[in-house]
């Protein structure tokens, strides 16, 4: 697989799956654009990327802010003149039962990042993706395929993301633009900590024990699937949802 000179936007590039993906893309020669909010974490990822390959472009971005999304696309095109690949990876979850008083507010926030921002950013990037006959990889979850207790908002957002991806894959196929989804199971990142969970180490230990393969994934394993789908090797793959979940869906 070669990503030499491919221009790739990675959202949620400041940690976890996004960071691992950005570093590997740089290692493979891509011109990578890092988009997320946390300046300290972004700077650390930029340093890892620069040690691996061409230094990436860092664009601090709040993906639920329309002006930031426009800036992300405009600055990418200003610097590199094109967009080949869009990796919509940023996301967050919340354990909030549907009966909770703030359930609808949580739903709006989670849909806002995990679904609406993806729709809006993909729409803004679309003319450039059509021009380059590029592709989109959306990072969903097994939560799209099977309910998780007290996570109705996240599960619904990810299910929407999957179907959005199939819908636009169908619409954009005649223009040569591919759209695919990766559905990870549990992955060791900052995701669980960002949900406000305590004893994160213990959480991963317990959930690993529950997995048929008795493990949880590392971010780099998800990167491998993302890069395959984004590469020329997957030139015949569109509208696909690729599960990589340590057996979560067969437990
Ligand atoms: N870890 C898992 O077990 C797991 C399982 C299935 C699916 N996933 C999915 O994988 C994707 C990546 O998650 P991860 O596991 O790598 O979690 P993570 O380490 O928490 O990373 C989440 C990323 O999203 C970014 N982000 C959050 N809100 C944002 C906003 N408003 N604007 C811009 N960026 C924002 C964060 O950056 P800043 O805070 O710097 O903005 C961070 O870079 C998500 O879509 C998640 O739903 C994760």
In the chain, where are the structural domains located? 7-250
On the question of pLDDT at 59 being above 80, the answer is yes
Structure tokens belonging to residue 1 = 């697989």
Structure tokens belonging to residue 76 = 């990418």
On the question of pLDDT at 78 being above 80, the answer is yes
> pLDDT at position 144, please?
98
Terminal-residue alpha carbon distance, the chain: 33
| 3-state secondary structure (DSSP) of residue 102 | coil
Using one digit for the tens of pLDDT, what is the confidence trace for 105-144?
999 999 999 999 999 999 999 999 999 999 999 999 999 9
Count other C-beta atoms under 10 Å from residue 182's C-beta. 23
Using one digit for the tens of pLDDT, what is the confidence trace for 194-249?
999 989 999 999 999 999 999 999 999 999 999 999 999 999 999 999 999 999 99
Query: Does the C-beta of 113 come closer than 6 Å to ligand 1?
Result: yes
Close Cβ partners of 203 (under 8 Å, ≥ 6 residues apart)? 192, 197
> pLDDT at position 196, please?
92
The whole-number average pLDDT for the span 72-96 is 98
On the question of pLDDT at 147 being above 90, the answer is yes
Query: Does the C-beta of 59 come closer than 6 Å to ligand 1?
Result: no
Query: Does the C-beta of 187 come closer than 6 Å to ligand 1?
Result: yes
d(CA 22, CA 121): 18
For the CA of 158, the closest atom of ligand 1 is 47
d(CA 92, CA 107): 11
Query: Does the C-beta of 63 come closer than 6 Å to ligand 1?
Result: yes
For the CA of 11, the closest atom of ligand 1 is 34
Q: What is the mean pLDDT of the chain?
A: 98
154 catalytic? Reply is yes
| 3-state secondary structure (DSSP) of residue 162 | helix
On the question of pLDDT at 1 being above 80, the answer is no
Hey, whose CA ends up nearest to atom 1 of ligand 1? 187
Looking at 3.40.50.720, 3.40.50.150, 3.30.1330.40, 3.20.20.70, the CATH number of the domain 7-250 comes to 3.40.50.720
For the CA of 93, the closest atom of ligand 1 is 47
d(CA 227, CA 25): 8
Q: Which helix (H) or strand (E) element contains residue 87?
A: strand 85-88
Residue 2 banded pLDDT, cuts 50, 70, 90:
confident
């Amino acid at each position: 697989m070669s990503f030499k000179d491919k221009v790739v936007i990675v959202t949620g590039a400041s940690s976890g799956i996004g960071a691992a993906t950005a570093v590997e893309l740089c290692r493979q020669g891509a011109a990578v654009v890092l988009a997320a909010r946390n300046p300290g974490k972004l700077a650390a990822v930029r340093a890892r990327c620069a040690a691996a390959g061409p230094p990436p472009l860092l664009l601090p971005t709040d993906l639920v802010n329309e002006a930031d999304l426009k800036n992300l696309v405009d600055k990418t095109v200003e610097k590199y003149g094109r967009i080949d690949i869009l990796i919509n990876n940023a996301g967050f979850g919340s354990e909030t039962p549907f009966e909770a008083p703030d359930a609808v507010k949580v739903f709006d926030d989670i849909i806002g990042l995990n679904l609406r921002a993806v729709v809006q950013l993909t729409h803004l990037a679309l003319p450039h993706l059509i021009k380059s006959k590029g592709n989109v990889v959306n990072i969903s979850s097994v939560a799209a395929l099977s309910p998780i207790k007290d996570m109705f908002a996240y599960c619904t957002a990810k299910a929407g993301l999957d179907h959005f991806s199939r819908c636009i894959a169908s619409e954009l196929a005649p223009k040569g633009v591919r759209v695919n989804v990766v559905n990870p199971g549990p992955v060791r990142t900052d995701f669980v900590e960002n949900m406000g969970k305590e004893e994160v180490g213990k959480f991963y230990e317990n959930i690993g024990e529950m997995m048929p393969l008795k493990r949880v994934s590392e971010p780099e394993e998800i990167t491998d699937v993302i890069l395959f789908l984004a590469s020329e090797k997957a030139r015949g793959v569109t509208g696909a949802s690729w599960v990589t979940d340590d057996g979560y869906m067969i437990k």
